[in-house]
Amino acid sequence: MLTIDIQRKMLTADGEKTLRLNVEILDRQLVCLFGKSGAGKTTALRMLAGLTKPDAGIIRFDDKLWFSSAQKINVCPQARDVGYMFQDYALFPNMTVEQNIRYGQLIQNQSEVENLLTLFDLVQLRRQKPLRLSGGQKQRCALARALARKPKLLLLDEPLSSLDEEMRFALQDEILKAHRHLGVTTLMISHDRTEIDRMADFVISIVKGECEVAAFTGRVS
């Protein structure tokens, strides 16, 4: 279980606001973060990943305390069981698809690289570099790299926002397939209500700095 009870001040277009998140997420659930631009969705993911420090509160994953302001604990990103897929994919341009995926591994294992190449239909593209990939191919490569470290928590920052409708629908299937195949708890930022209804177990809406858990979809992981 992922337990989040944190807050952080943010500077927004409307001035300083405090983002407060208080929610529990069960293992293997796929949860969507929803809210207006600047609401704090990316900040929330960055705090879970250890890239941004909360001002106060706790983050606990199962029996591991990742952050506690009271106990002065702040586990570094490398020590958290997290895979992070950035909105711009952040692929290394000088590496091939295969090398990008391998880079994500904590322990080198070529057999697992082969499994990911197959899972995301990247075998024929393994020696291509990002410059020669389409948007959908980059998305699949970035998702495979995030999963290569075998995370217990997968964070996806608007992974489908730059794609056309047909490609978005196809890659929703890719994300669901990875989520189910690997049994990883997943948090995904999305602005698309149709996408949320199709994919999420439930939704965390961030409104005026506060989180509201709503829109249980009934989707079975």
Q: Residue 218's pLDDT band (boundaries 50, 70, 90)?
A: very low
Predicted local confidence at residue 215, as pLDDT? 52
Say if residue 213's pLDDT is above 80.
Answer: no
Say if residue 23's pLDDT is above 50.
Answer: yes
Give the model confidence (pLDDT) of 116-125 as tens digits.
999 888 999 9
Tell me which CATH code domain 1-81+151-221 carries.
3.40.50.300
Asked if 112 and 106 count as a contact pair (C-beta separation under 8 A), the reply is no
Return d(Cα 172, Cα 161) in angstroms, integer: 11
Helices 110-119 and 135-148: crossing angle in degrees, nearest 10, is 140
Find the mean pLDDT for residues 167-188. Answer: 83
Find the mean pLDDT for residues 90-101. Answer: 95
Predicted local confidence at residue 179, as pLDDT? 81
Of the two residues 134 and 55, the one the predictor is more confident about is 55
Instruction: Please give the DSSP secondary-structure letter assigned to residue 155.
Output: E
Predicted local confidence at residue 56, as pLDDT? 97
Q: pTM of the predicted model, to two decimals?
A: 0.84
Find the mean pLDDT for residues 101-108. Answer: 92
Return d(Cα 196, Cα 215) in angstroms, integer: 9
Q: List CB contacts of 173: < 8 A, sequence separation 6 or more.
A: none
Predicted local confidence at residue 220, as pLDDT? 41
Predicted local confidence at residue 162, as pLDDT? 67
Predicted local confidence at residue 209, as pLDDT? 79
Range scoring the smallest mean pLDDT among 148-152, 161-165, 174-178, 205-209: 161-165
